[in-house]
């Protein structure tokens, strides 16, 4: 496969790599690049997108997550960040590096929407990992990490609208019983959905690519950073 030169640099750790050179990127957040994080008194007020889209996340006053050496810490009760809407109508890759501060059952969303029901996180009674592409479908899997264990979760939707989950770059697991999930996924929040499901844990990286061509390279990049 002929890789975009920027993707090749990402895969190999080349110093010349810049996310803005990958044209299909929708979002690139990376907390260990502290030049992309604005904080005040140890609280994150803005987390800037390193893609070319300027999808910067801003925390409402009083809902700022904490800046820690291990990541950006969302407290599970009132911390979140929001952006203008990101819409994913076709194929996509969503890859997130995180750990969780608690495994107590509770609905806690890493990603969500303020106006619709798309979400990605853990769901209440079971504590399972839960993903909803659009408002009428959902799927869940056992949460794959121990408490405080950093890991990589990657969701893809291919050209046939089939959705897969990869854990730490492992083999894909087909979600939704292999039923196609056509429709536009919309999100505009990190750390909360459209209700009170605040995430309790740390987020290190979040990459959203409107392609499935770079999954291995994105996961490899995550693995080099954690």
Please indicate, yes or no, whether the overall pTM of this predicted structure exceeds 0.85. yes
pLDDT at 2: 45
Q: Is residue 192 scored above 90 in pLDDT?
A: no
For residue 16, is it within any domain?
no
What CATH number does residue 182 fall under? 2.60.120.200
Q: 90 lies in which domain range?
A: 22-225
Percent of the chain with pLDDT over 70: 88
The residue with greater pLDDT, 43 or 136, is 43
Q: Tell whether 13 is covered by a domain.
A: no
What's the confidence (pLDDT) of residue 69? 84
- The domain total for the chain is 1
pLDDT tens sequence across 54-100: 999 998 888 889 998 888 988 877 777 888 889 999 999 999 999 88
Query: Among 3-17, 35-49, 211-225, whose mean pLDDT is lowest?
Result: 3-17
pLDDT(8) > 60: no
pLDDT for the residue numbered 9: 61
- The confidence score (pLDDT) of residue 46 equals 94
Taking residue 206's Cβ as centre, other Cβ atoms within 10 Å add up to 22
Of 212, 214, 191, nearest to 31 (Cα)? 191
Sequence-distant (6+) residues with CB within 8 A of 208 are: 25, 26, 27, 28, 86, 88, 92, 93, 94, 95
Structure tokens of 55? Answer: 């999808």
What digits encode the pLDDT tens for the residues 138-148? 788 888 888 88
**4 domain-assigned:** no
pLDDT surpassing 90 at residue 50: yes
* Alpha carbon distance 100, 44 (integer Å): 18
Q: Is residue 175 part of a domain?
A: yes
Q: Is residue 3 in some structural domain?
A: no
Whether 8 maps to a domain, the answer reads: no
As a whole number, mean pLDDT of residues 188-204 equals: 84
* The dihedral sign for the CA sequence 148, 199, 57, 13: positive
């Amino acid at each position: 496969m002929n890789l975009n030169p920027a993707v090749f640099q990402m895969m190999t750790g080349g110093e010349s790599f810049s996310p803005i050179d990958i044209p299909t990127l929708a979002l690139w957040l990376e907390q260990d690049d502290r030049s992309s994080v604005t904080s005040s008194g140890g609280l994150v007020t803005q987390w800037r997108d390193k893609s070319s889209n300027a999808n910067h996340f801003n925390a409402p006053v009083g809902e700022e997550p904490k800046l820690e050496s291990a990541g950006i810490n969302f407290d599970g009760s009132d911390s979140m960040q929001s952006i203008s809407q990101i819409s994913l109508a076709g194929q996509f890759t969503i890859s997130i590096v995180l750990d969780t501060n608690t495994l107590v059952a509770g609905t806690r969303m890493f990603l969500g929407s303020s106006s619709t029901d798309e979400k990605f996180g853990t769901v209440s009674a079971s504590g399972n990992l839960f993903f909803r592409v659009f408002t009428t479908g959902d799927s869940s899997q056992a949460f794959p990490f121990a408490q405080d264990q950093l890991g990589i979760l990657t969701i893809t939707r291919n050209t046939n609208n089939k959705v897969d989950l990869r854990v730490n770059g492992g083999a894909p697991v087909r979600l939704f019983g292999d039923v196609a999930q056509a429709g536009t996924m919309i999100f505009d929040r990190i750390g909360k959905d459209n209700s009170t499901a605040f995430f309790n844990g740390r987020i290190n990286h979040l990459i959203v690519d409107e392609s499935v061509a770079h999954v291995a390279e994105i996961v490899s990049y995550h693995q080099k950073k954690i």
